[in-house]
Chain A
Amino acid sequence: MQSQTPSARPLSPHLQVYRWRYTMALSILHRATGLVLSLGLVLLVAWLLGIANGAASYDCVMAAFTHPLMRIVFVGYSFAFFYHLANGIRHLVWDTGRGLERKSARASARVVVVAAVVCTILFWIVVCVRYSGSVA
């Protein structure tokens, strides 16, 4: 087996060598939100298990989920979802060969950020209105 000796081979350029651009920030954020959403799958599974195990365990899960800190987590999670969704649609458009020029890529970047923020705010306004009077 080859040992882990550092070789003199050139490394491919990585994040820190590039000048910072917001299209690049969006690309990194797409991957970051994807990872966050993956971790969050555990929350979905916990919620479903709570339902399947009966009312007592469901109340346990919901007590944890409605903790003030968890509410912040869910707001962040919803932003991650809307951002990943909006930027994912941008990626699907790119896959058709459209919108890859610098100007349109920058324009769509702005659309994605605005859409993600607006969707997150709208979502929680609607939740607050629909859930008024309900504990969860």
Chain B
Amino acid sequence: MSLRSPLGKVLGLGAAKEGVEHWWSQRVSAVGVALLGLWFLISLVALGGLSYDAVLAWLGRPVNAALLVLLIVAVTYHSKLGVQVVLEDYVSSKAAKVACLVANQFIHIALAAIAIFAVLRAAFGIQA
């Protein structure tokens, strides 16, 4: 006789607790970061100089602001997933691990929020 619940049997995940979502998300966000990251680097080089006016004019174009927001979302998500694996591998104490994983999540979400806010503020025009 098995003591596993019917739901547990159907999900079939056992002690792993979750399936391939992390793995897939890491791959999909990797493709996003690869494309958007290269676009960002090429754009900066093409600007030919990082004077304030040039950068602000570049960010003022809707396409650039939108793609930069997408890059921020993709790269902070990808980074969060990657750091999570490292923490899961190397932080052995359960309490410290949970604390680190929560901190990892909070820090990445905070970085994303600050970065997106900054891009939008610059793109919509700065009120002094």
Contacts and interface: CB of A to CB of B under 8 A. Distances in A.
B102 interface: no
Interface string A72-107: 000000000100010011011001000000000000
Interface string B16-45: 000000000001001100100110010001
Contacts of A136: 49-51
Contact of A134 (B38, B49, B114): B49
Contacts of B51: 134, 136
B103 interface: no
Contact of A51 (B48, B55, B75, B86): B55
Interface in B48-77: 48-52, 55-56, 59, 72, 75-76
Contacts, number: 84
Interface residues of B, number: 35
Interface residues of A, number: 36
B111 interface: yes
Q: Which 8 pairs across A and B sit closest by C-beta, in order of nearness? A: A134-B49, A52-B118, A136-B50, A48-B118, A52-B121, A38-B79, A51-B122, A55-B52
